[in-house]
Chain A
């Protein structure tokens, strides 16, 4: 957390309402998102209890395991879940575009991709475990399950893994997404409660939000009091209907909150980099779909060492790119870097648009710009700079001191003897320069390797699930 966010939190606490920490939306919001709120049985690793899900806010589907310890009922639930999620996911594979690539065959990329929204990070973790518990099952053999179950397991695994990828919007955790855009007046720990965080953003803090009788937890864990007083007796009664209705009371409030949160995010204008990150998501999704279609085996139990290292490196790059993009897209995020001296903004007070370097044929146009700033610049001469105002340009810091910074534009000036109109900032214009660079831009045409690590140059041996995997107990 930055000091800027800390200050916003203090202000929120003082004013009794959350404060914005972003001026644009940094995540993609699908036209037809799927909201998915899974619940698990307390004390178990991955025993599903229920889920409320759907792409239509007026018609949520409620799927319940009336006796979570019954293996057959669990797999029946998994098959039902597959019956809702798979058609949604696969529906996006119909319309594709052909993407040309350098040094590789062109590939088909889905025009749009599924977006499955879960309430919180624990929800993503549970999706991962659900995926793990399903993907090695088989439709034949001693413990057969419906064919859709292992397939769903692979997709859930994919979505949960992709959720860890910085800047991906395929499976956002709602509290995280909200927390990227608003600072509440409570701690990060308390922000994990969807009802509490939303209360801060909309009406101000409310003790009701922490009362499980008014706002049941948004899963995957249920309220222990509910377990003891309502759920356990309902299960004992043997009435599936009673269990279902009990669980409905726990899920419906969160369902409403999820859609309220979607509306809040939709109210923000989309950031400039969102589309290109979503394009990456679409590529990754298409890669995964192709992988499944080719009949490749399910994701391994664990990444091999090399794959894990490659994955880590990829994630780090993605994180850096995501941070930089958000700063370029959003002055309030850039302000964090201005505060630490890695960026500065101010008014242009002087320019030399005709400045050149070199002689004869190697003579190049290198316009100079002098900016007056109140920011504490901590950049040394020679540092390469970029600017959100002219993203194609590169610049270099010449000197800084006493509130004046001189920069030299070094890239993107073209070959002409004079600068094209508008290429050099005019006196009086407000500009911002930063040492952050967004070298993310090099790769968006490629499908994300993450989806296909073991087909495209992924060094680890293929994981071939055996009978033991398929028959693994799920008690």
Chain B
């Protein structure tokens, strides 16, 4: 059976979910997780699966935040992105009088990717082309040997054959500073788009470096709604992303050890309600190897399910990377405690960590009694 077909079987009857850049950035953050790679590769709705399993993801977006985000985006894009253009002019020091504005969303969904390709190709060809803003371009990226389409929630700006990715975010920049974790997340996501656009240019036979590694981040300034643009260098994020994506095992290989008929199908009834027995779905998922880390709690819909599994296995991963690193590869809680109280002999290579753990145990005992 060919891999695409296998992935379709994995997903079942529901249509595949498009990827958003956030998910891909997160996917790249945990490249060792086969479970996630398979679910995302097949386009499984992880949120629905987690809900059905009784482990709904702890993410939700407040309607207030959504409204605020939409209002801000609308403001930036009003009048054919007039405000955005003003900022780009200042930020990039461009003598742009007027630019064209293309909203790719206006064409039908099935045509959008082809349309994006054509537009970008034309722009890259013509160095004297006037500036253009492409709103909602549909880009794709190869993930673990499969094409993933990116949610088109980004703007690409092109002038003289050079491209910039523009990200509009509604977290505030206050006195020139923003929440570092929000900026980091935005940079990781922008890197996904830069990579996707570069890949597209390369496919079309253009120089991928026409896409700048400086992305334009647009945020509200201080406590008002007024937008401010800044350049964020995402070279580091790009390097990480590229490395992680190549490190991700090809899905074909992940599929190899699995039964042909394995599926994460929820078997929705006519009203879309899942009818698949929960235990059966959980069993199917447990056939794939997860690599739980507390970071999953903010990045993956499956987190509570996988955390529960890690608890049952007594995995030291539960306690976070730092602890895991301290333990130098001792994966189970029982094993680490056994080494600490001397009831377990260290395996080859564990002598040093065992000595440290025994010492730590002795010191804790001495201080607490």
A-side interface residues toward B, CB under 8 Å?
A: 1-4, 6-11, 13-14, 20, 23, 41-46, 125, 129, 132-133, 185-190, 210, 222-225, 227-228, 231-232, 301-302, 331-332, 335, 338-339, 374-376, 472-475
Is B165 located at the chain interface by the 8 A CB criterion? no
- Name which residue of chain B comes closest to A44, CB basis: B68
B-side interface residues toward A, CB under 8 Å?
A: 58-69, 170-172, 174-177, 179, 220, 222-226, 294-295, 297-298, 314, 316, 318-320, 322-323, 326-327, 333-334, 336-337, 340, 356-357, 359-364, 366-368
Given known pairs A10-B337, A188-B322, the reply for A224 and B60 (CB within 8 Å) is yes
Contact partner of A224 (CB less than 8 A), chosen from B61, B171, B327, is B61
Interface centre among B172, B223, B226, B316 (most CB of A within 10 A): B223
Whether the Cβ atoms of B319 and A45 lie closer than 8 Å is: no
Given known pairs A7-B360, A331-B367, the reply for A1 and B172 (CB within 8 Å) is no
Contact partner of A10 (CB less than 8 A), chosen from B64, B66, B316, is B316
Whether the Cβ atoms of B363 and A4 lie closer than 8 Å is: yes
Whether the Cβ atoms of B367 and A23 lie closer than 8 Å is: yes
Q: What are 20 A-B pairs with beta-carbon distances under 8 A?
A: A3-B357, A6-B322, A8-B364, A10-B316, A10-B337, A11-B337, A14-B334, A23-B368, A43-B68, A132-B175, A185-B319, A225-B60, A332-B367, A339-B359, A339-B363, A376-B359, A472-B222, A472-B223, A473-B224, A475-B223
Q: How far is the CB of B55 from chain A (nearest CB, A)?
A: 11
Contact partner of B363 (CB less than 8 A), chosen from A10, A20, A42, A338, is A338
Interface majority SS (helix, strand, loop, mixed), chain B: helix
Residues in B with CB closer than 8 Å to A125 are: 179
Whether the Cβ atoms of A43 and B336 lie closer than 8 Å is: no
Interface centre among A11, A13, A133, A222 (most CB of B within 10 A): A13
Whether the Cβ atoms of A6 and B319 lie closer than 8 Å is: yes
Contact partner of A42 (CB less than 8 A), chosen from B62, B226, B295, is B62
Interface majority SS (helix, strand, loop, mixed), chain A: helix
- Name which residue of chain B comes closest to A125, CB basis: B179
Residues in B with CB closer than 8 Å to A301 are: 175
- Name which residue of chain A comes closest to B332, CB basis: A10
- Name which residue of chain A comes closest to B328, CB basis: A3
Whether the Cβ atoms of B356 and A475 lie closer than 8 Å is: no
Residues in A with CB closer than 8 Å to B316 are: 10
Contact partner of A189 (CB less than 8 A), chosen from B59, B297, B337, is B297
Whether the Cβ atoms of A45 and B171 lie closer than 8 Å is: yes
A185–B297 Cα distance when bound, in Å, is 16
Given known pairs A3-B326, A7-B357, A187-B319, the reply for A232 and B223 (CB within 8 Å) is no
Whether the Cβ atoms of A10 and B336 lie closer than 8 Å is: yes
Contact partner of A7 (CB less than 8 A), chosen from B171, B222, B361, is B361
Pick the 4 closest A-B CB pairs, nearest first: A43-B65, A473-B224, A45-B172, A42-B62
Whether the Cβ atoms of B319 and A227 lie closer than 8 Å is: no
Whether the Cβ atoms of A1 and B326 lie closer than 8 Å is: yes
Whether the Cβ atoms of B363 and A224 lie closer than 8 Å is: no
Residues in B with CB closer than 8 Å to A339 are: 356, 359-360, 363
Contact partner of B176 (CB less than 8 A), chosen from A41, A231, A302, is A302
Whether the Cβ atoms of A190 and B297 lie closer than 8 Å is: yes
Whether the Cβ atoms of B174 and A332 lie closer than 8 Å is: no
A301–B366 Cα distance when bound, in Å, is 50
Whether the Cβ atoms of B62 and A224 lie closer than 8 Å is: yes
Interface centre among B66, B176, B320, B334 (most CB of A within 10 A): B320
Whether the Cβ atoms of B333 and A10 lie closer than 8 Å is: yes
